[in-house]
Structure 1
Amino acid sequence: MLKALIFDMDGTLVHSDPVHLQAFAEILKAEGVVIDDEIYRNSIIGHTNESIFATLLPHLTVAEHEEYADRKEAAFRRLAQDLEPMEGLLELLDWANGRGVEIALVTNAPILNATHMLDVLGVTERFSVKVTIGDVARGKPDPLPYLTALDRLGISAEEAIAFEDSPSGMKAAKGAGLFSFGLLTGLTAGEMRAVGADRTIPNFRDPALWEILERRIAA
């Protein structure tokens, strides 16, 4: 029986990628690094800040990478003030709440970003479990963040459904044994299926999602 829905944050709860791209472009301009859609898709989406800055600024030290990461996240929070929930998200959270289904967050973002984003979206209190990059030794694509969420929820992978939008996130969810939906906010359906998505949906109003939810809740 379905006991929990586990969500990634950026690109899943909210289409925040354009704001992240803007923040990266703003703080990396001084280093002469140009952030365009291709670089964002290939080197940023779904990756940890540690990996991103090691790739984009290989000539700098780890301490300098951490400083840039802090500046980027501060820029993102400053820019991300008017974001709206993904289409159908609030209805889905209401559905889960009405059926006693837990709601959890699993993100590679730092806790300050997660707190800010959930507050902006007005859904902070909906999430009984929140796993951010500071809670785990290894971020996505390692399955550890999802395994940590399952442990905190006190359930097995068979009792949850995950929602992801990136290759690294999908690999993490599938590595933890979760049935997973791929949100098509940045990648194509083919790209998401190639990294393991069981189903792909453009948003949370897709009939394919609701068919599976109703079937799982009745099991």
Structure 2
Amino acid sequence: MVRALLFDFNGVLVDDEPIHLELFQKVLAEEGVSLERDDYFAHYLGFDDRGCFQAVLERAGRPATPEQISRLIARKATYYQERIREQGFPAFPGAVRLVRQAHQAGLMLGVVSGALRSEVLGALEKLGLEGLFKAVVAAEDVRASKPSPEGYRKGLEQLNSLPPLPSRLIHPHEVLAIEDAPAGLEAAAGAGLATLGVAHTYPAAALSAADRVVESLAEVELSDLLGPRSAAVD
């Protein structure tokens, strides 16, 4: 029985993966390094900002110090906030509805993301969801980004340790992680969680490791998520 939902952020709740790609390209171009769209989706999607910048620069033969990477992250974050002020946070169809329904049904909710905490909290506030998530694990909270299970383990820890406390301990098999990328699914499975793959970013076939795959959150009913794990692909 599912008692909690842990959502990925970019590509699941908020449709801003194209914005992140554009801003990675912008910042890297300022450093004289190119990043192609196909390479980003094949190799770097699912990394947090630090992991992406580090991997791209190393692959380009331009390894950077932690301080240099931090400056690139800060520059990208500034560009991101400017873009969001202009365009707002584009939520995926069905995302806000599902979060509200799950909260009203008494499920505990969390976000486990490679995005910066300021980006996650800013989006939740703009979408009117800021008070609904008990756990928020962001890039600053982990040492290793997805596919490491560290973020999901911390998310489960927060569900069990932050007030209001659950009536009994929430176990990994009682948590459903909702992800849009293979790296995220691997991270959630590594933490022992059930998984729902959403084909917002990758085709459904690329998410076959999930217990269940859907094309969009718009087609998901909360009642469909509360039963046992299913290997079906919708």
Query: Does the pair score TM above 0.5?
Result: yes
Q: TM-score by structure 1 length?
A: 0.89
Residue 140 of structure 2 is aligned to residue 134 of structure 1? yes
Correspondence for 2:190 = 175
CA distance in 2, matches of 1:153, 1:64: 34
Which of 56, 60, 80 is equivalent to 1:76?
A: 80
**Contact conserved, 1:49 with 1:69, CA < 8 A, in 2?**
yes
**Contact conserved, 1:43 with 1:55, CA < 8 A, in 2?**
no
Which of 184, 189, 192 is equivalent to 2:207?
A: 192
CA distance in 2, matches of 1:199, 1:133: 26
Residue 46 of structure 2 is aligned to residue 46 of structure 1? yes
Correspondence for 2:10 = 10
**Contact conserved, 1:77 with 1:116, CA < 8 A, in 2?**
no
The structure that is helix-richer by fraction is: 1
Residue 224 of structure 2 is aligned to residue 212 of structure 1? yes
Query: What is the CA deviation profile of residues 41-99 of structure 1, one whole-angstrom value per residue up to 9, with x for unaligned ones?
Result: 02331012232112222323232122112211221122124222211112212221221
Which of 49, 65, 68 is equivalent to 1:64?
A: 68
Q: What is the RMSD computed on CA atoms of the aligned residues?
A: 1.8
CA distance in 2, matches of 1:122, 1:198: 30
Unpaired stretches in structure 2, ≥5 consecutive residues: 161-169, 229-234
Which of 119, 128, 135 is equivalent to 1:122?
A: 128
Query: What is the CA deviation profile of residues 3-52 of structure 1, one whole-angstrom value per residue up to 9, with x for unaligned ones?
Result: 11110100010111111112112212222323332122023310122321
Per-residue deviation, 1:176: 0.8
Per-residue deviation, 1:185: 1.6
CA distance in 1, matches of 2:226, 2:43: 37
Correspondence for 1:22 = 22
**Contact conserved, 1:109 with 1:133, CA < 8 A, in 2?**
yes
Matched residue type, 2:225:
L
User: For the structure 1 residues 121 and 40, does the alpha-carbon distance in structure 2 shift closer, same or farther, using more than 3 Å as the test?
Assistant: farther
Q: TM-score by structure 2 length?
A: 0.84
Unpaired stretches in structure 1, ≥5 consecutive residues: none
Per-residue deviation, 1:211: 5.3
